[in-house]
Every structure is written in structure tokens, then in C-alpha cells.
Amino acid sequence: MFTEPAMADANWDDLQLFFQVAERGGLSAAAAGTGLSAATIGRRMLALERTLGRSLFIRSQQGYRLAHDGEILLERGRVMRQAADGIADWHRHAFALPLVSIAAEPGLAPFVAENIAAIRSASDSFRLCVKTADADLDMTFRGADVAVLGVEPVSGNLAKRRSVIERYAVYRASALAEDPDLPWISVGTESARSAADRYVFENHESQILTWTGDARLVETLVQAGAGRGVLPVFSGDANPALKREGETLAALDHPLWIVANDDDRRRPEVRLVIDRVAELLASHSARFLG
């Protein structure tokens, strides 16, 4: 059986005011500490007693003295206040600085992490979260504050900035001799997101002996000697354990896009990160071109 509550919940502001009266010893002292009039405080204490259904004070010409229930409330209130103060301290320390999250294509995320010092300096008053732009990243719904993407988003309330051109080439392990029959490594069709991911199974399907569901593993598999594979030149050329075969695959050239939610890009720290990411990519444009 349901029953109606005996009383309404006490207002936290009124409880705070109760602490002032109880700890300072009366209305006049509480008024001096809060800036409220003694009459206002008196009315609110009377209302608090009615809300709680208990007598909190013994009133006399000498002032306000705590009744038995008032002493119990003060003791329990101190515990509540300590908990509230602890939560406030936790919140203040954890969220003292704004957070900017930056997501990058799987192959680019390590590059962003390696160059973190170019994106945030020790004097910047924001925190940074670096993550991978997985297939389910939705910038419209703020999957990240800033993203570096290989495919231009075509919908959503997004601000986009075109950046450097990214190129691709075929690589094999440096330790392997040139072999026209060397098998191919491919990203699985269920995981392919870009033209580069699809290139091998669209052009060399019968020669594929190794697949992976994670494009980031192609470089590791090529380096291990499992076969040849397509990699972005910015990472393939920089790996001494790999050797490029032939020229870049011009059909796979594409720009990188720096993307942000159009509303969030006006936040000073987000705008700063966008500018610095643009500068970082531009400074490495030759590496992305190969």
C-alpha cells in the first residue's frame, strides 16, 4: 500500500541557513554572516521546522538555543556538508580546465600523439584527449571536438577545413627480395572504410593470402614479411623496415579534413587546437606527399 510522505524535503539553502544560526548562536550573528535580515532568517527557520515537522530551536529573550532535534540535525548536517564539500573539491580539481578531444583516422592517431607538444603547450589552460576516429564516430553529435578525417563529411552542423594531401604506395618488407609473385595483404571487406582500404581486394583479390579487420595492422603484417600491402607514404616511407614498390598510387590521393561541430569551434580552446592541428599537418605536407 502506498502512503503519502509525511513532509516535503528540506531545501538545502534553508539547511545551510540553519547551520549559520546553530553555529553562530542566534539570528543576529547569522544575519551578520549571511547578509540577510534577522527577521528573514527567523521566518525561514520557522518554515524549516514546519517542513521537517520538528522543533529545532528553543526561543527565548536570550535568543535561539538548539532543541534536541536541532542538535541531531546539526550533527547529521555536518556529515552532509562534509560530503558536499568533498564532492565540490573533487569537481573543482577534476574539471578545473576545459577538455578538448581530438580524434584522428586510425593510421593518423599515432602521428597526432607523437606531436602532442605541437598541439598543446605547457602554458595552455586546457586538457587534451587524443583518440582514434573509429567508424562510429559522429561529429554531429560531438563524438570529438576536433577530428582529422580522410573523407569529407557531407552532412551535419559541421565546420570543415581542407588540409594536406595524403598519398599511398605499395610496400614490402625491406628484408624480402623483389618478387612479382609476392602475395598481398588486405583490409577485410567488412572493415574497409576508404578507397585505400579497398584497393587490394578490388585489384589483386586472387593474390590475397592475408586479411585483417584493422587497417592499423597492415603495416605490421607487411613488416613481418606476410606480403605486400598498401600504406600511406607518411608512415611507410618513415619505416626503415619497409621498402616502397614503384610510384605512389595517384588514384588514392585525397585531402585530409579538419572537422569540428560548428557550434563548438567558437570555443577558444577548440579554435586554438584546430589552428595548431592545421599548422602541424602543413609543416609535414612533404611527408604526406612522399
Residue-wise pLDDT for 233-272, tens only, equals 999 999 999 999 999 999 999 999 999 988 888 899 999 9
Q: Report the pLDDT value the prediction gives residue 91, as an integer from 0 to 100.
A: 67
Q: Report the pLDDT value the prediction gives residue 86, as an integer from 0 to 100.
A: 78
CATH 1.10.10.10 in the chain, residue ranges: 12-94
CATH 3.40.190.10 in the chain, residue ranges: 99-164+255-284, 168-252
Q: Report the pLDDT value the prediction gives residue 228, as an integer from 0 to 100.
A: 97
Q: Report the pLDDT value the prediction gives residue 163, as an integer from 0 to 100.
A: 97
Q: Report the pLDDT value the prediction gives residue 7, as an integer from 0 to 100.
A: 41
Q: What span, in angstroms and rounded, lies between the C-alpha atoms of 151 and 255?
A: 8
Cα 124 from chain centroid (whole Å): 17
168-252 folds as: D-Maltodextrin-Binding Protein; domain 2 (3.40.190)
Burial of 244 (0-12, 13-18, 19+ CB in 10 A): middle
Residue ranges of the chain with per-residue pLDDT less than 50: 1-7
CATH 3.40.190.10 is held by the domain 99-164+255-284:
yes
Q: Report the pLDDT value the prediction gives residue 4, as an integer from 0 to 100.
A: 37
Tell if the pTM clears 0.85, that is, is over it.
Answer: no
12-94 folds as: Arc Repressor Mutant, subunit A (1.10.10)
Angle between helices 12-24 and 38-52 (to 10 degrees): 120
Q: Report the pLDDT value the prediction gives residue 140, as an integer from 0 to 100.
A: 76
Question: Cβ atoms within 10 A of the Cβ of 169, count?
Answer: 19
Indicate left, alpha or beta for 43 from its phi (over 0: left) and psi (-120 to 50: alpha).
Answer: alpha
Q: What span, in angstroms and rounded, lies between the C-alpha atoms of 153 and 235?
A: 24
Cα dihedral 228, 231, 237, 239 in deg (nearest 10): -70
Q: What span, in angstroms and rounded, lies between the C-alpha atoms of 102 and 160?
A: 14
Strands 127-132 and 99-104: parallel
